[in-house]
Amino acid sequence: MSETRQHNTDDYIRMYKQMVRIRAFEDNANRLYLSAKMPGLTHMYSGQEAVAVGICEALTIEDKITSTHRGHGHCVAKGANFREMFCELLGKEEGYCRGKGGSMHIADQSNGNLGANAIVGGSMGIATGSALTAKRLGNGQVTVCFFGDGATAQGLWYEVMNMAALWKLPVIYACENNGYSEYTKTDEIAAGSLVARAEAFGIEAFQVDGQDVLAVNNLAQQLAERCRNGEGPFFIELNTYRYHGHHVGDINRDYYRSKDEEAEWKKLRDPITNFGKWLEDQKILSADELVALNEEIAADAEAAVTYALSAKYPEAHEVNMHVYADNSA
Amino acid sequence: MTREITFSIAVNEAIAEEMRRDPTVVLLGEDVAEAGTPFKVLSGLVEEFGTDRVIDTPISEPGFMGIAVGAAMTGLRPIVDLMFGDFLYLVMDQLCNQAAKTHYMSGGKLTVPLVLRTNMGATRRSAAQHSQSLQALVAHIPGLKVAMPSSAYEAKGLMKTAIRDNNPVVIFEDKLMYNDKAEVPEEEFLIPFGEANIKRIGQDVTFVATSSMVQVAEEAAEKLSAEGISAEIVDPRTLVPLDEGTILESVRKTSRAIVIDEGHQSYGVTAELAARISEKAFYHLDAPVIRMGAMDVPVPFSPALEDLTVPTADGLVANARKICRGELVHAA
């Protein structure tokens, strides 16, 4: 991390805190799963924090994102609260979706998060449509479509990139390449270069170190601004790494990924550790302040978990609420 | 004032009126702009509303369906034109996994106000991939509404309601009816969803018929009246929501029912309607409920074969005679 200071101190501290908040959220979600307190499965974002935070910190609250099955990081980074998120993961009434969506469908429209999506690549059309709305209404909003390397194998992406390029839509396709498409190395399922695929549509494409929050944020700032000036769409490939398996239950994974490889990423390329060191070097935060921040966030997360565990489930009559939207409004 | 206009003009008028009323309504699909679609239903709209609102797309059904879902979630009211109903299979993920479920999955926070207008109907010599009537596929999915206009009047009134609905609505137009004329008021009107229309009043048997099968039912009812059998025709107009009350009330009166829909008979719309009548009006029935759907075969090209696959007025007359005379009926 070689960048010199460009932002004000608060921006840097917020980026650090948001990354730590994601990690704390995921550590708690994983514990909930392992202790059988959470229904179903969930997919951990740990390791990829610099991607969500670097990008979402370049957006306004009105800007939109679409997210994936590995979506807790995007949700936190776009501004969501721990309490409503844990309630959603536990199927409680106070969850962002009243417990009807769960981990894989968490949406927070109040912060511009149009929702996680359990169909790999399923939100690419939604993100592009959101950008069509922005262009049609002239509201200046940018939409970021988060997806993984695995989703680049879906045909939908090529259809919507074609239309986004033809219609010059303000959308950024952000591919988080964590090297694994579920339980398979991405090298085995992706021919050629991902960047070249976007470029084939005349879309300007970028590669960036997804572990470097400042590099991600600088690029995202530029591209968001250019989208607002009518220069979109754009494509970014962010090279990153997921610390856990495909989902929380994917524990014995030596057959597709070595423990040495995981240890190396965690030791050398952890986005939080490295950014923390940079903050110390720049004398923005001291080592003690970093520890205090981490502790404070860990306590917040635990308090939210405690709250969510004892929160109410939805009443039975809610089962057939929200199938159809009301037309009276 | 009423005047006679074609089904096609009725659809066009409905869309134009709603686009004038609400600037968030946009139209997108293949060849919707200058071409006005292969059926020319949308002719003239691009001239009035421009290419920002009448948007030609590439031949990418999943792509533009997905774009419509996202646009609907963020403030537009897109009308998606799906050139043939058979292409529904191409958009199933975006329609059924995304559009249909978003409101529910978000706990009511996100809405998807979009209209998917497409078509149905065989006997146009278009063979197996341009002739299907797939309304049962979408009527099966909670979160979608399904409208089936049976004349120009319904085509206009249901389209306007669909565009104003805050949910994804699929409208099936029978492509053989585009040139059929009906009386349509010049003044603005809407037809509410979930209100069946009693198209003909009768005493002896109820025909519950959808879309162009209403015409088949009318032809059969005429023939039967000459024989002293009085048939009542109920057009549900929307499959979802379904006006079960009007259907059941009619059957309780006539004690006999035949349900007619052009989708495949097995596991189809006719199956659902027959089951509801059998469950809820059983003690009023004097005969088994008869289903008449399309044969369970891919639609064949040869006219000699294709005409055999769809319900006909003659077939309906024969079935009505049997149940009205107490003969044992085995459905075809």
Per-residue pLDDT tens for A226-285? 999 999 999 999 999 999 999 999 999 999 999 999 999 999 999 999 999 999 999 999
CA-based nearest residue to B276, from B239, B311, B313: B239
Query: Are A154 and A215 contacting, i.e. CB atoms less than 8 angstroms apart?
Result: no
Question: What pLDDT sits at residue A7?
Answer: 75
Across all residues in chain A, what is the average pLDDT? 96
Residue A121 CA to its chain's centroid (Å): 14
Do residues B327 and B309 touch, judged by C-beta distance below 8 A?
no
Which one, of B63, B300, B132, B21, lies nearest residue A132 by Cα?
B63
Window A:94-133, CB contacts with B under 8 Å: 95-101, 105, 107, 109, 114-115, 117, 119, 122-133
Element of type H or E holding B25: strand B25-29
Residue-range domains of chain B with CATH: 2-185 (3.40.50.970), 197-324 (3.40.50.920)
Average pLDDT over residues A295-319: 98
How many pairs of residues across A and B have Cβ atoms under 8 Å apart?
157
Contacts of A328 in chain B (CB under 8 A): none
Residues of B in contact with A105 (CB under 8 A): 105-106
Which of B130, B154, B232, B306 is catalytic? The answer is B130
Mean pLDDT throughout A66-71?
97
Return d(Cα A246, Cα A35) in angstroms, integer.
19
Burial B36-49 (b: 16+ CB within 10 A, else e): bbebebbeebbeeb
Whether the upstream peptide bond of residue A271 has omega within 30° of 0, thus cis, is: no
Tokens of B330: 């085995």
CA dihedral of residues B98, B26, A174, A67 (deg, nearest 10): -30
Q: How confident is the model at residue A178 (pLDDT cuts 50, 70, 90)?
A: very high
Q: Please give the backbone phi and psi of residue A94, each rounded to the nearest 5 degrees, phi first.
A: -85, 5
* Secondary structure (3-state) at B72: helix
- A165 contacts chain B (CB < 8 A): no
- Euclidean distance between CA atoms B199 and A274, whole angstroms: 74
Provide the pLDDT for residue B1: 81
From chain A residues 220-279, the ones with a CB under 8 A of any chain B CB are none
Check: CB of residue A44 under 8 Å from CB of residue A26: yes
> Phi/psi at A315 (nearest 5 deg)?
-70, 155
Smallest CA-to-CA distance from A66 within A15, A28, A104, A117 is with A117
Per-residue pLDDT at A298 exceeds 50: yes
What are the start-end ranges of the H helices in A122-193? 124-137, 155-167
Concatenate the DSSP letters of all residues of B129-178 into one string.
TS----HHHHHTSTT-EEE---SHHHHHHHHHHHHH-SS-EEEEEETTST
Q: What is the pLDDT of residue B204?
A: 98
Burial classification of residue B201, based on how many CB atoms lie within 10 Å of its CB (0-12 exposed, 13-18 middle, 19 or more buried): exposed
User: Which whole number is the average pLDDT over A106-122?
Assistant: 96
* pLDDT band of A328, cuts 50, 70, 90: confident
Alpha carbon dihedral A198, A200, A205, A209, in 10-degree steps, equals 60
Question: For A127, which of B24, B70, B94 is closest by C-beta distance?
Answer: B70
- Residues in chain A within 8 Å Cβ distance of B111: 325
**Chain A residues inside the 8 Å CB shell of B94:** 122, 125
Q: Which residues contact A235 (CB under 8 A, 6 or more apart)?
A: A161, A172, A173, A175, A195, A198, A199, A203, A204, A205, A206
DSSP structure class, residue A279: H
Q: pLDDT tens track of chain B, all 332 residues?
A: 889 999 999 999 999 999 999 999 999 999 999 999 999 999 999 999 999 999 999 999 999 999 999 999 999 999 999 999 999 999 999 999 999 999 999 999 999 999 999 999 999 999 999 999 999 999 999 999 999 999 999 999 999 999 999 999 999 999 999 999 999 999 999 999 999 999 999 999 999 999 999 999 999 999 999 999 999 999 999 999 999 999 999 999 999 999 999 999 999 999 999 999 999 999 999 999 999 999 999 999 999 999 999 999 999 999 999 999 887 655 44
Residue A20 CA to residue A276 CA, distance in Å, equals 10
C-alpha distances in Å from residue B287, one per residue of B206, B231, B290: 12, 15, 9
C-alpha distance from B213 to closest chain A C-alpha (Å): 28
CA–CA min distance A181, chain B (Å): 20
Cα separation, B268 vs A186, whole angstroms: 42
Active site residue B130: yes
Residues 69-128 of B with CB under 8 A from A: 69-76, 78, 93-94, 97-98, 102-113
Six token digits for residue A42: 């969930």
Q: Are B169 and B114 a contacting pair, CB within 8 Å? A: yes
Question: To the nearest whole percent, how much of chain A has pLDDT over 70?
Answer: 98
Q: Which domains does chain A have, with CATH numbers?
A: 48-81+97-257 (3.40.50.970)
What does the alpha-carbon distance between residue A321 and residue B149 come to, in Å, rounded to a whole number?
A: 28
Which ipTM score applies to this complex? 0.95
d(CA B125, CA A179): 50
